[in-house]
């Protein structure tokens, strides 16, 4: 027992490494995790005191635990059996496929990353690019939503800035859980997006097993009261106009709730921009057969470097207004009591109608709509007419709102319109962009003519 044992140096070092790993995994790491977990819980408790809708424990659950909970849910278990029977693969193989889907979908929310990093970054980017304005159709109704209800923000999709803008503006309400498409499933962006609490979805999946796993996750999140955000159009509008709703996520939410359970309140959120950052890409995609687009990383990097360069030489200007308006919320419980037949389709139509009614008027689309309808107008008349339209819409800040001047300058600089002898008219060079922005103006010809007549 007391004899000396000689070992090679490499073997001695290897034993030390294994001993250190064993010590850390059994004694140090659990203590360290417990220490930071306790600090995180205290931080979240303080954070929840100032949020209108506290962060639900469901969002703070460990990702591994959430995946386990998902794949052992009876709904997924039945889907695994059905998939095995229909495809002829063993149930163990189908189960592993379900596990893969669950890993793909489930986020890994970090309250520290969301409220320390994401909110600050969203605020910085929003205010760097736009003059941000927020309004309500009825602010008191929004504030008085049942605190026990699950809130789902339902938004029109104009730009990828929508994620940034609404994350920033909704920071006082709660942490939002977005459904994000496959475009964001690239490293390291995917890690960041998961930390923000977003979950990935496949837009076109032919697998019923995948759809059942996704539906199960949405049901769990809805039952737990997680505040969610969704774009019923599915993708960015290529025409500027509000698109047709896709019913996938809405169906999962409805299927996962019952009239006797927790109420779900849908809050329409309407967005509009003086300039959509991707407008050229979107209008080109609208001309293609598949109506799809791909933003290359080189193009994005070049654009960012160009804006930084303009900032350094003092020639940078913001892209006008970015306006967000909260519409009238719809309680699912109340809606179900009034609609006995096709609740999902009727609800989708009602939500899109509420978004359409809430879309705020910003000056650049209003100018495009005026010129598209009238052909040519005096510049002073354009200012007067747009001011009257914005006053009626409630988006006019003052009688000399500089946003109108900036919108006119932007349209002329981009050769969408031309300015000759004090008159504004179409340039004939970028008709696609003129039509794109005119389609996003929430004004009809009768309302426009009434403003002009006044």
Mean pLDDT over each residue of the chain, to the nearest integer: 82
CA distance 337 to 331: 10
Whose CA is closest to 391, among 445, 440, 311, 447?
Answer: 447
Q: Residue 380 has which token pair?
A: 């002073």
**Residues sharing a CB contact under 8 Å with residue 285, sequence separation 6 or more, in sequence order:** 238, 291, 292, 293
pLDDT of residue 34: 47
CA distance 412 to 200: 40
Res. 271 pLDDT band, cuts 50 70 90? very high
Residue 330, phi-psi category: left (phi > 0), alpha (psi -120 to 50), beta (remainder): beta
CA distance 84 to 269: 42
CA distance 454 to 450: 6
Q: Tens digits of per-residue pLDDT, 251-265?
A: 999 988 887 888 999
CA distance 407 to 362: 9
pLDDT of residue 21: 61
Check if the beta carbon of residue 415 is closer than 8 Å to that of residue 356: no
pLDDT of residue 234: 83
> Does the pLDDT of residue 430 top 80, yes or no?
yes
CA distance 423 to 378: 4
pLDDT of residue 152: 92
Domain with CATH 1.10.10 in the chain: 363-453
Q: Residue 60 has which token pair?
A: 């703070």
Q: Which CATH superfamily is domain 105-277+319-357 in?
A: Glycerol-3-phosphate (1)-acyltransferase (3.40.1130.10)
> Does the pLDDT of residue 290 top 60, yes or no?
no
Q: What is the mean pLDDT of the segment spanning 3-7?
A: 68
In eight-state DSSP terms, residue 425 is: E
pLDDT of residue 444: 73
Domain with CATH 3.40.1130.10 in the chain: 105-277+319-357
Q: Tens digits of per-residue pLDDT, 39-62?
A: 555 655 665 556 666 666 666 677
Listing DSSP states for 281-300 in one string gives HHHHHTTSSS------HHHH
Q: Residue 412 has which token pair?
A: 């002329």
> Does the pLDDT of residue 175 top 80, yes or no?
no
Residue 412's Cα: distance from chain center in Å? Answer: 31
CA distance 268 to 229: 10
Q: Find the distance separating the first CA and the last CA of the chain, reported in whole Å.
A: 106
Q: Residue 156 has which token pair?
A: 């029109």
Q: Residue 146 has which token pair?
A: 């049942």
Domain 363-453 has CATH 3.40.5: no
Q: What is the pTM of this model?
A: 0.83
Q: Tens digits of per-residue pLDDT, 331-380?
A: 999 998 887 777 899 999 999 999 999 999 999 999 999 999 888 899 99
What is the three-class DSSP state of 182? helix
Q: Tens digits of per-residue pLDDT, 81-90?
A: 999 999 899 9
CA distance 111 to 174: 11
Identify the top-confidence range among 19-33, 143-157, 279-293, 393-407: 143-157
Angstrom distances, CA of residue 449 to CA of 271, 342, 438, 454: 24, 38, 15, 9
CA distance 7 to 15: 10
In eight-state DSSP terms, residue 183 is: G
């Amino acid at each position: 027992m007391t004899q000396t044992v000689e070992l090679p140096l490499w073997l001695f070092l290897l034993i030390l490494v294994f001993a250190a790993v064993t010590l850390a995994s059994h004694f140090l790491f659990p203590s360290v995790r417990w220490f930071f977990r306790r600090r995180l819980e205290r931080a979240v408790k303080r954070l929840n005191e100032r949020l209108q809708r506290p962060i639900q424990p469901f969002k703070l659950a460990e990702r591994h635990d959430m995946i386990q909970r998902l794949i052992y849910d009876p709904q997924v278990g039945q889907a695994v059996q059905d998939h095995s029977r229909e495809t002829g693969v063993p149930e163990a193989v189908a189960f592993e496929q379900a596990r893969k889907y669950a890993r793909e979908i489930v986020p890994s929310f970090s309250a520290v990353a969301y409220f320390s990093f994401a909110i600050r970054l969203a605020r910085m980017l929003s205010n760097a690019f736009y003059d941000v304005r927020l309004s309500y159709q009825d602010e008191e109704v929004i504030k008085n939503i049942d605190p026990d209800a699950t809130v789902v923000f339902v938004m029109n999709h104009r730009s990828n800035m929508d994620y940034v803008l609404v994350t920033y503006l909704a920071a006082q309400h709660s942490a939002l859980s977005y459904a994000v498409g496959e475009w964001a499933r690239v490293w390291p962006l995917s890690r960041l997006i998961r930390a923000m609490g977003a979950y990935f979805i496949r837009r076109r999946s032919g697998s019923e097993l995948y759809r059942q796993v996704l539906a199960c996750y949405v049901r769990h999140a809805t039952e737990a009261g997680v505040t969610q955000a969704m774009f019923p159009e599915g993708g960015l509008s290529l025409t500027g106009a509000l698109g047709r709703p896709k019913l996938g996520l809405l169906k999962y939410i409805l299927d996962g709730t019952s009239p006797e359970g927790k109420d779900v309140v849908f809050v329409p959120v309407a967005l509009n921009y003086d300039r959509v950052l991707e407008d050229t890409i979107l209008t080109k995609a609208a001309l293609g057969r598949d109506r799809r687009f791909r933003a290359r990383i080189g193009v994005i990097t070049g654009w960012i470097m160009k804006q930084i360069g303009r900032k350094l030489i003092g020639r940078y200007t913001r892209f006008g207004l970015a306006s967000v308006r909260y519409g009238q919320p719809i309680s699912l419980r109340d809606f179900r009591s009034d609609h006995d037949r096709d609740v999902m389709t009727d609800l989708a139509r009602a939500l899109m109608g509420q978004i359409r009614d809430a879309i705020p008027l910003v000056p650049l689309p209003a100018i495009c709509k005026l010129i598209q309808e009238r052909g040519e107008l005096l510049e002073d008349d354009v200012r007067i007419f747009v001011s009257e339209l914005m006053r009626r819409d409630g988006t006019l800040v003052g009688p000399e709102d500089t946003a109108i001047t900036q919108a006119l300058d932007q349209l002329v600089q981009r050769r969408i319109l031309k300015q000759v002898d004090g008159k504004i008219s179409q340039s004939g060079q970028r008709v696609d962009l003129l039509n794109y922005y005119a389609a996003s103006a929430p004004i009809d010809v009768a309302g426009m003519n009434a403003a002009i007549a006044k």
